[in-house]
Amino acid sequence: MPFDALFVPPDVREATGERAWMQAILDFEVALARAQARAGLIPESLAEAIAGAQVDFDGLMEAGRASGNPAAALAESLPDGAHRGATSQDVMDTAAMLVVRRTLPLLDAELGGVASACARLAAEHRSTPMAARTLLQQALPTTFGLKAAGWLAGVDEARDRLAAVPLEVELGGAAGTLASLGDHGLQVLSLLAEELALDEPVLPWHTRRGRIGQLGAALALAAGAVEKIALDVKLMAQTEVGEVSESSAGGRGGSSTLPHKRNPVGSALAIACAHGVRGAASVLISAVAQEHERAAGAWQAEWDALSRALALTGGAAAALREALDGLEVDADRMRANLELTGGLLLTEAVSTALAESVGRTRAKALVADAARRASDGGRELRDELAADDQIELSAEEIDRALDPVEYLGSAEAFVDRALEAHERRGNG
C-alpha cells in the first residue's frame, strides 16, 4: 500500500509484511513436523527436510486466490508428509499469532519509549504550574507534571491490555476435531504449542474469535492512548498557546513557504495512525461472529486488518515517541498563560480562603461578584477583591490565594503515585 513508509517505522513494516507472514506460515509447518516427529508420527528426518525446504514465496499470494488463502499454495511446495493433520486455518491462525508475538515487542518498545518520555516530563515538571483546561477553557492551575503523569498512566494501562491478550496456537484440522491425527491429536497440539512457545487452547478457536477482537481493541486503545497525548501536544503547541513545540531538528515540521511554522508533525502522524488503527480494529471486532467451523469471509477479513492495526499502532507510537523525545517545553509560557485571566482562574481558591470566615455559599457569591466586576471592567481580580469591603481578606491572604503554586492540591502527590506505579510495573 502507498504511504506505509510515511507512517510505519521500518522494523514494524517488516514484521507485519508479506515475508513475515510467509515466514510464520513456514515456521508453523516446521514446528508441526517437529511436534509430530516427537510424537513418533513421522521420522525426524522429514521434519528436518521441511525445515530445510526452499520455498519460493513470490506469487504465492496470487496463487492463493484459488483457495482463498496462501497457506494451501505454500503447503504444496513442501516435502510430502508435511502439513499433516492441519487445515489452512490452522496455518493462518497460528501464523497470525506468530506475527503478533513478533511485532508486539516492537510496539512495546515504542510505547515504552513514549512512557519513558512521559515519566521524564512528569518528574521534571512535577511542580511546573500551568493552566488546567476543561472544555478548552482555562479552569484552575495544575502542573505539567500531572498532565504528563496522566499520559504515562494511560500508556502503561494500554501496554498492560496488549500484554494480557492470550496468544494461542491453532490446531484443529479440517473440522476442529483433529480427526486425521487419530489418538495423537491432543499430544501433537500440546507439543506444537511447546515448539512455538504459544499458549495451548482448551479447544480449537477456528470460529471463536473473541481474542482476535480483543487484540484489535487493545491495539485501538493503545493507539488512542498515544493519540490523547498527541492531541494535548498539538493543542499546547498552538501559536497562541506556545507551551510546547516539537523539535525542528533537521527541518522537521518546517514549511517551505511559511518559515515561522513549527508544525507538530509527529503528533499529526500519530493521530492519523490512530484513526487508521480504529478502522482496522473495527474490522476485527465486527468480524467475531463467524459461521459454523470456518467462516466464509469474516475470517479472511482479519489478515489485512490485523497487519494494518499492528503496523499503524507502531506508526502512532513511533511518531509520538520521536515527538516527545525532542519536545521543547516552555515553562515560562505556561506561567504566562496562567496569568492571562488576571487571577480569575483562582476564584475558587479565594472562595475557599474566604469561606473560613463567611461560609462557603456566601464566599462563593461574593467572589463571583468581584470576578464579574473585574471581568466586565477589564480590571485585575486582585484589585477588585481588595476594594470590596465585604471580602475580609488581607492583601497577603489575597496574594496567597491568587498564587497558582499555592493551589495545586494533590497534583504533586498524584505525580508521585503515577511514577511509583510506573516504576513498579517496569518498562519492559
Is 372 marked active-site? no
Cell of 428: 519492559
Crossing angle of helices 88-124 and 302-325, rounded to 10°: 20
Residue 67 or 357 with smaller CB distance to its own copies: 67
Is 294 marked active-site? yes
Residue 109 or 274 with smaller CB distance to its own copies: 274
Q: Whole-number minimum distance, CB 227 to its own copies, in Å?
A: 4
Q: Whole-number minimum distance, CB 21 to its own copies, in Å?
A: 5
130 bridge partner residues? 142
Amino acid identity for residue 140 in this structure: L
Q: Whole-number minimum distance, CB 323 to its own copies, in Å?
A: 11
Which of 13, 294, 321, 382 is flagged as catalytic? Answer: 294
Question: Which residue do the cell numbers 483546561 mark?
Answer: 133
Which of 45, 67, 255, 410 is flagged as catalytic? Answer: 255
CA distance 28 to 192: 9
**C-alpha atoms less than 13 angstroms from C-alpha of 412 in its C-beta half-sphere:** 10
Residues with Cβ within 8 Å of 405's Cβ and at least 6 positions away in sequence, in order, are: 127, 129, 141
Q: Whole-number minimum distance, CB 109 to its own copies, in Å?
A: 18
Q: Whole-number minimum distance, CB 312 to its own copies, in Å?
A: 8
Q: Whole-number minimum distance, CB 366 to its own copies, in Å?
A: 11
Are 206 and 170 in contact by the 8 Å Cβ rule? The answer is yes
Question: Which residue do the cell numbers 493543542 mark?
Answer: 235
Residue 116 or 263 with smaller CB distance to its own copies: 263
Would you put residue 261 in left (φ > 0), alpha (ψ -120 to 50) or beta?
beta
Residue 4 or 124 with smaller CB distance to its own copies: 4
Q: Whole-number minimum distance, CB 372 to its own copies, in Å?
A: 7
Are 152 and 422 in contact by the 8 Å Cβ rule? The answer is yes
CA distance 102 to 333: 43
Residue 104 or 381 with smaller CB distance to its own copies: 381
Q: How many CB atoms lie within 10 A of CB 396?
A: 8
Residue 262 to residues 12, 122, 145, 416: CA-CA distances in angstroms?
27, 24, 23, 32
CA distance 310 to 167: 15
Residues with Cβ within 8 Å of 44's Cβ and at least 6 positions away in sequence, in order, are: 37
Residue 181 or 327 with smaller CB distance to its own copies: 181
Residue 395 or 405 with smaller CB distance to its own copies: 405
Question: Which residue do the cell numbers 501433537 mark?
Answer: 188
Are 309 and 216 in contact by the 8 Å Cβ rule? The answer is yes
CA distance 113 to 111: 5
Active site residues: 255, 294
